[in-house]
Chain A
Amino acid sequence: MTVAIVGAAESDLGVTGKSILTLQAQGITRALADAGLSLSDVDGLATAGLSRFSTAQLAEYLGLEPSWSDSTFAGGSAFEMYVARAVQAIEAGQCSTVVISYGSNQRSARSRSLGGVQEAHIPQAQFEDPYAPLFPLSYYAMAAQRYLHSYGGGREWLAEVAVAAREWALLNPKAFRHEAGPLTVEEVLAAKPVSSPLTVADCCLVTDGGGAIVLTSLERARDLPKPPVVVLGYGESTTNASMTAVDDLLRPGSFASGQTAFRMSGLNPSDVDVLEVYDSFTITVLLTLEGLGFCKPGEAGELAASGRIRPGGDLPLNTSGGGLSYNHPGMFGLLLLIEAVRQVRGECGERQVPDAEIALAHGTGGIFSTHATVLLGADR
C-alpha cells in the first residue's frame, strides 16, 4: 500500500471546559505541526459526531474546501473506516493530504445518557426500548453473560482486562487514571454492578478529548520530518443495529474485519507487535481478541488472566491505558490510531513496546454494530 500516516496528536483530554470545535482545532493544528505540514496542504477531511453535516461544518471552520470528505457515522469504528477510505481516495488521486479528526466535550457538557438516543421510527423503539435496556451497555452485558456461560469462566476474566488497562495507564502521564494507583481484580469484582455481569469498573471512562491524524502518499511521507507509518491493510464489517439481529453473540464482526485486514496485508496475528483494541467494556476486548485471531474462541479470558496483555507481556494491548483508564471521549477510535502510530514511531517513553514495528488498531461502534481493523507498520 502506498499511503502513510505522517502526523498524529491528541487535543486536550479529561475535563477540558472547552467547546468541541476548539478541541477539534487543537488536535488538527497539533497533528499538522507533528507532520510538518500546514492547513493549506489539506484537501481531504473526515470527522464525525460534530453536527448533522460534520465535515462541512468542520471544513468551513478551518477555512477549507476539501475535494474529498467523509463523515460516515459508525460510532467508535468510524475512524478506522476513514483510514481505509482515505487510502483509497489518495491512491485514486481524489485528494493528496487527509486529516481525520475528532473532538468531544461530553464530560464537561454532561451530555452522556445511559439510555442512548433512539429515534421513534426505528424498529428498536417498538421492540426493544419498552424493555428498558441500557444502551449500549446492556447488549455488551448480555454478550458477557453468554461468554462466561458458554466458556465456563468467572467475572475475573473480564476484570483482568480492566486491571491490565490500569497498569498501562500508570505508565502514561496523559491517562485520566495515571495517578489512581493500580487496580486489582478484587476491586473490579466488588465495584457497583450496572448491568450484570458488568460493573462500573468494566465500563470505559466518560471524558472530553479528541485528536487528529494526517495521511498522505508514502512517497511524500518520506520527505516529511517524522518516520512514516504505513497503512498495510484494512477490513470492516457492519452487522446489526438492534439487540436481536445477530444470532450468535460470541461471533461479532471482528471475525470478518480482521480476516480481511490480515489477508490484504499478508500478515498474521503473530506478526503484530502491539494491539490497540476498542475497550468500551471489558468484554469487548475478549471477543475482539478472538475475532481477530489472537486466540481461539473461548480462550481470551485465560489469555487476559495470564498477564500477556499487561506491560511486559508478549501481547501488549491498549498501551495508552485504553478507554478504560486513559480517556474515552464518546468515541475512542481515533485515539487508538494515535497510540498505534506513536508505538510504531517509538515515541511512547515508559510505555513503549520495544522494537514495535507492526501495530493493529481495531474500532468497534454501537452495540458490536460496526467493526473496522487497520494494520500499520514502519516503513521498511
Chain B
Amino acid sequence: MSEPEIPVDEVTAPWWEATRERRLTVQRCRACGRHQHYPRALCTGCGGTDLDFADVSGVGVVDAFTIVHRAPRPGPEVPYVVARVRLAEGPVLLTNLVGADPGSWRCDAPVRVSWRPLPDGRHLPVFAPADKD
C-alpha cells in the first residue's frame, strides 16, 4: 500500500506548501492576469515570467470522468474515479472524485475540493459533490 512520494520542484513548491494548510491555489500571471495549472516557469498566455499563486474557491464542475477497474500499480483500491475538474477560475485539474458511489457521477456535476492527507504532511486535492459538506 506504499504510494510513491510525489516529487516537487522549485516552481511547484509554493503550490504544494499551500496544501499543508488545505489551501487550493492556482498560478496567476502578474502581467496578463491569466490563471494556469500546473505551475510553470512562464505564462502560456503571454510568455511572462512574473507569476504568483492565488487562492481559488475550490468549486468547479466535472468535465469528464472514468471509473477505473484495474489499478496501474499496487495501492489504489478499485473501483475509483479519475476525473478532469474545471475550476470556477478556469483551469482544469486531474483528480479523483470521492464521496459518492462511482456509478452515480455525471459530466457537468458541480463539485467542491476535499483533501487527502499525504504521509509527509502535504495534501492531495480531490473533489466531492458540491452539495455535500
Interface string of A131-169 (1 = CB under 8 A from B): 111110010011101100110000000000000000000
Assess the B66–A131 pair: CB atoms within 8 A.
no
Would you give the shortest CB distance from A362 to chain B, in whole angstroms?
A: 23
Q: How many A residues have CB within 8 A of the partner chain?
A: 38
Would you give the shortest CB distance from B67 to chain A, in whole angstroms?
A: 4
Number of A-B contacts (CB under 8 A): 111
| Interface residue A128 (Cβ < 8 Å from any Cβ of B) | yes
Indicate which residue in A125, A132, A149, A242 contacts B107 across the interface (CB closer than 8 Å): A149
Residues on B with C-beta less than 8 A from A125 are 6-7
Assess the B69–A194 pair: CB atoms within 8 A.
yes
Residues on A with C-beta less than 8 A from B94 are 127-128, 131, 133, 242-244
Complex CA gap A192/B70 in Å reads 10
Given A127-B94, A146-B107, A244-B37, A133 and B12 contact (CB-CB distance below 8 Å): no
Assess the B67–A195 pair: CB atoms within 8 A.
yes
Assess the B106–A149 pair: CB atoms within 8 A.
yes
| Interface residue B53 (Cβ < 8 Å from any Cβ of A) | no
Interface string of A74-113 (1 = CB under 8 A from B): 0000000000000000000000000000000000000001
Q: How many B residues have CB within 8 A of the partner chain?
A: 39
Would you give the shortest CB distance from A139 to chain B, in whole angstroms?
A: 9
| Interface residue A312 (Cβ < 8 Å from any Cβ of B) | no
Would you give the shortest CB distance from A192 to chain B, in whole angstroms?
A: 7
Indicate which residue in B69, B96, B108, B126 contacts A196 across the interface (CB closer than 8 Å): B69
Would you give the shortest CB distance from B97 to chain A, in whole angstroms?
A: 10
| Interface residue A173 (Cβ < 8 Å from any Cβ of B) | no
Complex CA gap A126/B82 in Å reads 15
Indicate which residue in B6, B63, B70, B75 contacts A194 across the interface (CB closer than 8 Å): B70
Residues on A with C-beta less than 8 A from B38 are 123, 126-127, 242, 244
Complex CA gap A113/B7 in Å reads 22
Binds B, one of A49-57, A114-122, A263-271: A114-122
Assess the A195–B69 pair: CB atoms within 8 A.
yes
Given A130-B6, A132-B75, A142-B82, A196 and B95 contact (CB-CB distance below 8 Å): no
Complex CA gap A183/B9 in Å reads 49
Assess the B107–A134 pair: CB atoms within 8 A.
no
Residues on B with C-beta less than 8 A from A145 are 64-66, 107
Which 10 residue pairs of A and B lie closest in terms of their CB atoms, listed nearest first?
A115-B72, A141-B66, A142-B64, A149-B107, A146-B64, A196-B67, A244-B92, A132-B76, A123-B38, A133-B82
Known: A133-B68, A142-B64, A197-B66. 8 other contacts (CB 8 A): A115-B73, A116-B72, A132-B82, A133-B66, A194-B68, A195-B67, A242-B38, A244-B38
A residues touching B (Cβ–Cβ < 8 Å)? 113-116, 120-121, 123, 125-135, 138, 141-143, 145-146, 149-150, 192-198, 242-244, 247, 249
